[in-house]
Amino acid sequence: MSESEPRAVEQDTSLAGVAAYDDPVYREAVIDLLGVLAYGELTAFERLADDATLAPTLEDKAALAALAVTEFHHFERLRDRLQDLGVDPVAAMEPFRTALDSFHRHTAPSDWLEGLVKAYVGDGIATDFYREVAALVDADTRALVFEVLENSGQVSFVVDRVRKAIADDPRVAGRLALWGRRLVGEALAQAQRVAAERDALTALLVGGVDRPGMDLAAIGRMFARLTEKHVQRMATLGLDA
């Protein structure tokens, strides 16, 4: 979940239609990308629904419930795409359960405000990473990825509530800033782990089977961009990164 428009990496390698899927490594990379996104959207739905139970007002509860529904619709789009490719969505999501569940266990919010910051900051880093990866796939897949990662109202809601909480009690800013720093470390580690553990995604990122990708310097710049956007998000919330 991110407020920014998709930003392409150094080179955009749109592939020609269905022919791209004749390459089994490329096909596996696309399935991995759709699978991890599908599981991410499913867990986002669950977490927002849970966060709604902590909402201090009925207005907040309804707003988070609506955002949760949007995340589930995103999951459905990814599920349907996997099925169109002849892939079992559950099988496509399964390889990512351990990494994503571990991330959420280690970043379980202790209250309503921490949940909001996680939804904006933590998920935002993951969203930016997958947008970078999507710049290396075919146009149809890229369009779907950008669609499901598009901000659907979360940003304005989170920023409004967090800034109001800080205005009401400036002491919460320090605690939330520390929480944001923890989130960025965990989220970047998760992104690196997901890519490293899936050979097809690694091949997509660094190039392989005669397809252009990013060299090590470009990958370094990509993670620098992720960190820079994190700093910008924290500033938007009124927090020090």
Q: 118-132, 181-195, 199-213, 217-231: which range is least confident on average?
A: 199-213
> What is the DSSP code string of 199-223?
HHHHHHHH-BTTB----HHHHHHHH
Please, which residues have CB within 8 angstroms of residue 81's CB and are 6 or more apart in sequence?
A: 34, 141, 144
Please, which residues have CB within 8 angstroms of residue 1's CB and are 6 or more apart in sequence?
A: 44, 119, 120, 123, 124, 127, 149, 151, 152, 154, 155
Categorize the per-residue pLDDT at 11 as very low, low, confident or very high, splitting at 50, 70 and 90.
very low
Q: How far is CA 123 from CA 37, 119, 204, in A?
A: 11, 5, 22
What predicted TM-score, i.e. pTM, was given to this entire model? 0.84
Say yes or no to pLDDT of 174 above 70.
yes
- pLDDT at 211 (0 to 100): 53
For residues 79 and 89, the answer to whether their CB atoms sit within 8 Å is yes
Say yes or no to pLDDT of 39 above 90.
yes
Please report, rounded to a whole number, the percentage of residues in the chain having pLDDT higher than 70: 87
User: For the chain, which domains are there?
Assistant: 19-237 (1.20.1260.10)
Residue 91: burial class (beta carbons within 10 Å; 0-12, 13-18, 19+): exposed
Please report, rounded to a whole number, the percentage of residues in the chain having pLDDT higher than 90: 46
Q: What's the rounded mean pLDDT across residues 41-61?
A: 91
For 104-158, how does the pLDDT look when each residue is reduced to its tens digit (9 = 90+)?
999 999 899 999 999 898 888 888 888 888 888 889 999 999 999 887 667 888 9
> What is the DSSP code string of the chain?
-BSSPP---S------GGGGGGSHHHHHHHHHHHHHHHHHHHHHHHHHHHHHTT-SSHHHHHHHHHHHHHHHHHHHHHHHHHHHTT--HHHHHGGGHHHHHHHHHHT--SSHHHHHHIIIIIHHHHHHHHHHHHTTS-HHHHHHHHHHHB--SHHHHHHHHHHHHHHH-TTHHHHHHHHHHHHHHHHHHHHHHHHHH-HHHHHHHH-BTTB----HHHHHHHHHHHHHHHHHHHHHHT---
Q: Higher pLDDT residue, 203 or 184?
A: 184
Q: What's the rounded mean pLDDT across residues 175-180?
A: 94
